[in-house]
Chains A and B, each alone.
Chain A
Amino acid sequence: MGLLSDPVRRRALARLVLRLNAPLCVLSYLAGLAWFLALAFPPLTQRTYMSENAMGSTMVEEQFAGGDRARAFARDFAAQRRKSGALPVAWLERTMRSVGLEVYAQRFSRRLPFPDETHERYMVSGTNVYGILRAPRAASTESLVLTVPCGSDSTNSQAVGLLLALAAHFRGQIYWAKDIIFLVTEHDLLGTEAWLEAYHDVNVTGMQSSPLQGRAGAIQAAVALELSSDMVTSLDVAVEGLNGQLPNLDLLNLFQTFCQKGGLLCTLQGKLQPQDWTSLDGPLQGLQMLLLMVLRQASGRPHGSHGLFLRYRVEALTLRGINSFRQYKYDLVAVGKALEGMFRKLNHLLERLHQSFFFYLLPALSRFVSIGLYMPAAGFLLLVLGLKALELWMQLHEAGVGLEEPRGSPGPSVPLPPAQGVGLASLVAPLLISQAMGLALYVLPVLGQHVAAQHFPVAEAEAVVLTLLAIYAAGLALPHNTHRTAAGLHRPHQLLTGLPAGRHYGARCCARQASWVPDPLCCLAGADKPGSHTPWQPVPVAGTAGGATVTGRGLAAFPGSAGPGCAGASHLRCPALPTAVPGPLPLLAAFLECALLEVRSACPGHQAGTETCQGPHFDSFQGNKQVSVSAAI
C-alpha cells in the first residue's frame, strides 16, 4: 500500500476517486445487477454432480412394491382421521407396532402469540407419533428421518400411507446401518419443531412438550413428504429452509438421480425444468426460477417442514406430490421407489453430508450456481457503499490537507452553485421525487400486495398495511432536506461535504438558532452577537461560560456537564467537529451526535419550551453527552 502512504500520489488518487465517484458507483451497481442476471446463463451455471463418494459409486435396486398396502393404509388413516377429527394417535401407534417399529408418542402444546386463522384459538396442542426402525448390530448412534407433517388443511393421508408401507418394507431388510425414524407430526411446523426441540433437548420457542422416550442418535438426513392423492403427475422439491438456509447440494443431487432413474417428472419452484440451454429460452426460464428461489429465501420462512431440521444441522428437503391435469401419472410405487433409493443411499453415508455446496442458487434441478460465482454480484452492489464511504473520508482528509497548505483559493472543494442554476436545478429534484412518489403510491400497493401474499406468510389485508409501511420506511431513506430545515437544524450532509477542518459551524448554527428561537442565552458564550460570524469563518469555540478557548480534538471540545446554563446545551446542539485529527472515529461520533440531537429537538416539548435548561431538559442533555462519549470511545 505504498501508493496510499505516499502523500503526493495519494492526493492524486483521492482526486481521481472524488471526481469519478458517482460514475464509479453507478457502474458498480449496474455491474452487480448485470452479473446477477447473467447467473442463469451457461458459463456461470454448472451441471450438478454428486460429490459424496459414499452415495455416488453404488447403485441400488429398489424393491418396494407396497402400492396397494400404502393405499389401504392411507384409506384407513383418512377414515380414522375423519372419525376422530384429529390425528388418530392410537391407530397410528397400533399400525406402526404391527409393522415392527418401536413406537413412541409425544404430546406438545404451545400458546400462540396470535390466534390461528382457521380456529381462532391461542392454545394449540397435539401429538406427534414416531416409530423407530432399529438397525441390527448398530448402537443407535446415527439415524435418518422420514417425516410427514399433518396439518389442519393438508390431510397428507397418502403420505402417511406411503410412510407406513415403506416402514413395513424397510423393516424386512437387513442392510440398515442407521436407525430410521418414521415421524408423523401434527400441526405442520409446530409439531415438527416440538419434536426437534425435544429430540435435541433444547427449548428455544417456549414449547411445552413431553420428553421423548426413544432416541436414535445423531440425525444424518431427513426427508419430509407431502402427498395428498393416490396418483401424482410430478414431484416438487423444496429446499429453502428457515432464514433461507439450504441443505447440502448432494441431497438434492440424490433426489435428482432417483428422479431420473425412475423416470419421474420432477419440478423445482413448481415449474418444469428448462431443457434447452443452448438457446435463450432455457436460461431465461432458469433466471425466473433463480429469482423465485432468491425471493423465497428472502422471505425467511421455511417452505416445508424440512426447513426446521436445517437449524439442527440436519440436511433435509421436502418432496411434494403434485396432481395436475397431465396425462401421464405415477402411482405411489414410483414415489416409494424413489424414497427407498434415497434412504438406501443415505444409509451408506460414512460421514455427514459435507462434500458438496451449502450455498448455491438453482436455476434448474440439474444446474446450480455456486457461491463463488454469485458472490461477485453481491460484492459489486456492496462496493457502492465502500466507494461512498471512501469518498466521504477522502473529502475530509483533502479538506484537512487543503488547510495545511493555504493556496489562496478558499474552500475549493465546495464550489458555490452558480446563482442562475439554483432555480431550475433545485426544482428538478423535488419534481422528480414527487412524481416518482406518486407513481409508486399508485402502483406499489397492488403490486406489493400480490408479491407479498404470494411469497410471504401474510393475508391480503395485512399485505396492504405492510406495503404501506414499507413505502413509508423507504420514504424515510430519502433525503431529509425539507424536514431538517423546518426543524431548524443543521444539515448533516453539510457537515460532511466540503467541511474545512479547523472550523466548525458553531457560529453559523448559532446564528440559525438565534433566528429561529430568539433567545440570546442560547447562543454561545463566545458569540454573543449572532451575526458577527459568517458561516464559513473559523470561530473559537467557547466551551464553558468562562470563555476558555477549547481547540481540542473532536469531542474534547464538548463542555462537560459542568457547563452551566443554556450555553452548554445549545453548544452541544451544534457539535464540534474534528479539527486537528481527521479520522473516522470522531466523524462517527459526530454523526451519532447529530442524529441524537435531532431526535431530541424534534420533541415538541423541547421546541415549544423556553429553553430554561432545567429539569428533564438538562437530564436529556447529560444523556446525550454520555452516549456521544461512549460512541467516541
Chain B
Amino acid sequence: MAAAMPLALFVLLLLGPSGWCLADPQRDSLREELVITPLPSGDVAATFQFRTRWDSELQREGVSHYRLFPKALGQLISKYSLRELHLSFTQGFWRTRYWGPPFLQAPSGAELWVWFQDTVTDVDKSWKELSNVLSGIFCASLNFIDSTNTVTPTASFKPLGLANDTDHYFLRYAVLPREVVCTENLTPWKKLLPCSSKAGLSVLLKADRLFHTSYHSQAVHIRPVCRNARCTSISWELRQTLSVVFDAFITGQGKKDWSLFRMFSRTLTEPCPLASESRVYVDITNYNQDNETLEVNPPPTTTYQDVILGTRKTYAIYDLLDTAMINNSRNLNIQLKWKRPPENGYIHYQPAQDRLQPHLLEMLIQLPANSVTKVSIQFERALLKWTEYTPDPNHGFYVSPSVLSALVPSMVAANPVDWEESPLFNSLFPVSDGSNYFVRLYTEPLLVNLPTPDFSMPYNVICLTCTVVAVCYGSFYNLLTRTFHIEEPRTGGLAKRLANLIRRIRGVPPL
C-alpha cells in the first residue's frame, strides 16, 4: 500500500499535463537542450538552452492566461510593445583564441538591446521604463542605463526574428561593463523556466558549481517567429541560454576527462515533464573514424551530424535517458589572420555629447583574407566634474566592449535543414544559406585611467591652491607690474592747477 500511494500520485501528476493538453490544443511548447563541447584548450563548455514557444499574438489579444510562457515577460511585451528583447549577463570573457568560436558570445557585464514596435511613440521613455522593470525582474543594476550609455546602432544588431522593416529608430542598445553577475541574477532567471530547477536539465543549474567556472553567461532572448512554414501568423519565442566554461586545469587536476557529476555535482534523473523535447548533445567529432581517442559512456543511442560554425561536427544525442560520462577533447581549429587594412566600407560615427550620449563608431568592412585589421581610436583624458567621479575613481573607468558581427564563409557547405527541427544551439541566428554562418564576437572591456584629483583631502587642497594663487601670485604680479610715485599733497590751489594745465599742454613737467 505504501508503494502504491506514490505510484498513484505519480500517475496523477503525469496525467495532469497531458489531460490539459487534450483540452487545449497545445498552443505552447518547451524544448530544452544541453550541449557539452570539449574546447580546444582542454576546458569544457556547457551550453543550456530552454526555448518556450507560444502561438499567441501577445499584443493584439488581451492575454491573461499563461501556461509555460513566463507572465512577467509576457506582460512586458504587451505593455512596452516590444518586438525583440535580448538581455545577457556575463561574468568572464570568452577567449576565442583558445576556446574556438562561441555559439553565443556576450560582452562582459550586462548587455541589453531591444527593438520596439513601430507603434511606440516615445522610444526613449519606454526604454527607460523597460530597463527599470528588467532591473527589478533580474535583480540587476539595469536601472543605471540612461542616455549616456545608450546608443542606436545603424549597421549591426539587426532583428533576429521576424521583422517587416528595420528602422533603427526603434532600436536601443546598452552595455554595463561593470555589472557583476552572481547568484541573485541566476535565481530569477531560473524561475522563468517552466520546471524551475526541479526537473529536467535545470537540476544541473546549481549556483555553487556554475559560479566556480572560468566563464558564465546567461541570457534571455525574446523574438517573434513564424508560426508555420508559410508564415501566416507569428508566434513568440523565449530562449533562455546559459553558457559556462569549466576550467579543466583546476577541476580535473590537469586531466581532460569530465563527467556531468564532476562538473555540476549533480546527475540528470528525469526530464522536465512539461518539455516536449529534452536532449543532451555531446560533441564527439571524429569519434567514428578514430575510436581510440575518446570513449563516451554510456554509448550514445543516436548521433547528429551537421555543419556548425563552419565545420562538420558530430554530436552524440542523449534524449535524456541516462547520464553522460566520459569524453576526451577534440580540436577544432579555425584561425583567421588579417594582415592588410580594408579598402572601403561603411563608416558611421556619432560623436558623444558630454553627459548626454556616448560615442558610437560603426564600420562595415570587407576583410581580405590573411590580414590583420587594427582599429584604433584616439581619445583625450579629461577631468570630470568632481561629483561625477565614482567612489573608487582610481580603479579606472570602463569602456564598453566593442562588437564584431560577421558573416563568415563556411568551410563546409551545410545541408539545408528544417529550422524548427534543428537543435536549439544551431538556430538562434538566422542564416540565409548553408555557405555562411553568422558570428558575433565581443572584445574585452577596457579599463581607462582618467586624471583623478586627490580626494583624500579636497578641502585642504582647494584652500591651499586658492591661497597660493590669490595671495602670493596676485600681489607679486601686482607689485612687479606697477610703478609707484609719490604724489605731493595739493597745496597750490586754483592758480597752480591752471599753471599745471598750461604746462601739460606745453609738454613740460608740472610744477
Contact = CB atoms under 8 A, between A and B. Distances in A.
- Bind each other: yes
Interface of A: 1, 4-5, 7, 10, 100, 102, 134, 136-142, 171-172, 174, 201, 213-214, 217-218, 313, 350-352, 354-355, 581-584
A102 B97 CA distance: 10
A217 B177 CA distance: 14
A314 to B, nearest CB: 11
Contact of A100 (B249, B452, B456): B249
16 contacts: A1-B475, A1-B478, A5-B484, A100-B249, A136-B212, A137-B91, A138-B92, A139-B92, A139-B109, A139-B177, A139-B401, A141-B444, A172-B250, A213-B97, A313-B449, A350-B392
B449 A352 contact: yes
Contact of A351 (B98, B214, B395): B395
A354 B453 CA distance: 11
Give the interface centre of B93, B456, B475 by most chain A CB atoms within 10 Å.
B93
B211 interface: yes
Contacts of B247: 136
B128 interface: no
Contacts of B449: 218, 313, 352
Contact of B447 (A10, A100, A141, A172): A141
Contact of B394 (A5, A137, A352, A584): A352
A297 to B, nearest CB: 23
A354 B445 CA distance: 23
Contacts of A100: 249, 254
Contacts of A139: 92-93, 108-109, 177, 401, 444-445
B486 interface: yes
Nearest to B454: A354
Contacts of A4: 475, 479
Contacts of B212: 136, 174
Contacts of B484: 5, 7, 10
A4 B449 CA distance: 46
Contacts of A214: 97
Given A141-B444, A217-B447, A136 B214 contact: yes
Interface string B75-104: 000000000000000011101011000000
B444 A351 contact: no
A142 B93 CA distance: 13
B398 interface: yes
Nearest to A215: B444
B444 A102 contact: no
B483 interface: yes
Contact of B479 (A1, A355, A581): A1
Interface residues of B, number: 44
Given A1-B475, A172-B249, A351-B392, 13 more contacts: A1-B479, A4-B479, A137-B213, A137-B216, A139-B401, A140-B444, A171-B249, A172-B250, A218-B448, A218-B449, A352-B394, A581-B483, A582-B483
A5 B479 contact: yes
B480 A584 contact: yes
B50 interface: no
Contact of B486 (A5, A7, A350): A7
Given A141-B446, A142-B447, A217-B444, A136 B93 contact: no
A134 B95 contact: yes
Nearest to A1: B475
Contacts of B486: 7
Nearest to B249: A100
A367 B444 CA distance: 41
Closest 9 A-B residue pairs measured CB to CB? A139-B108, A351-B394, A1-B475, A137-B92, A141-B447, A137-B91, A351-B395, A136-B214, A100-B249
Contacts of A313: 449
Contact of B250 (A102, A142, A174): A174
Nearest to A143: B447
A467 B213 CA distance: 62
A380 B214 CA distance: 58
Contacts of B254: 100
Contacts of B475: 1, 4
A374 B481 CA distance: 33
A137 B98 contact: no
Nearest to A142: B447
A100 B392 CA distance: 33
Contacts of A217: 444, 446-447
A583 B445 CA distance: 57
B447 A136 contact: no
A218 B213 contact: no
A171 B247 CA distance: 11
A354 B394 contact: yes
B54 interface: no
Contacts of A352: 394-396, 449
Interface of B: 91-93, 95, 97-98, 108-109, 177, 211-216, 247, 249-250, 254, 376, 392-396, 398, 401, 444-449, 452, 456, 475-476, 478-481, 483-484, 486
A352 B393 CA distance: 9
A5 B481 CA distance: 12
Contacts of B213: 136-137
A550 B38 CA distance: 94
Contacts of B446: 141, 217
Contact of B215 (A7, A10, A137, A171): A137
Contacts of A102: 95, 98
B398 A141 contact: yes
A213 to B, nearest CB: 8
A174 B215 CA distance: 13
Nearest to A174: B250
Nearest to B92: A137
Contacts of B448: 218
A426 B262 CA distance: 97
Contacts of A174: 212, 250
Contacts of A10: 484
Nearest to B42: A100
A536 B389 CA distance: 66
B211 A137 contact: yes
Contacts of B93: 138-140
Nearest to A583: B480
B491 to A, nearest CB: 19
A581 B483 CA distance: 8
Contacts of A201: 376
A10 B444 CA distance: 66
Contacts of A354: 394, 452
B396 A218 contact: yes
B507 to A, nearest CB: 14
A134 B214 contact: yes
A214 to B, nearest CB: 8
Contacts of A138: 91-93
Contacts of B483: 581-583
B247 to A, nearest CB: 6
Contacts of A582: 483
Given A139-B177, A352-B394, A218 B92 contact: no
A228 B480 CA distance: 62
Nearest to A400: B483
A352 B449 CA distance: 9
Given A136-B92, A350-B395, A583-B480, A141 B445 contact: yes
A397 B426 CA distance: 90
A174 B95 CA distance: 18
Contacts of B92: 136-139
Contacts of A7: 484, 486
B384 to A, nearest CB: 16
Contacts of B376: 201
A289 to B, nearest CB: 28
A142 B446 CA distance: 9
Nearest to A99: B249
Q: Indicate the member of A174, A313, A351, A582 with the most B CB atoms within 10 Å.
A: A351
Contacts of A171: 249-250
A549 to B, nearest CB: 15
A59 B91 CA distance: 27
A141 B478 CA distance: 51
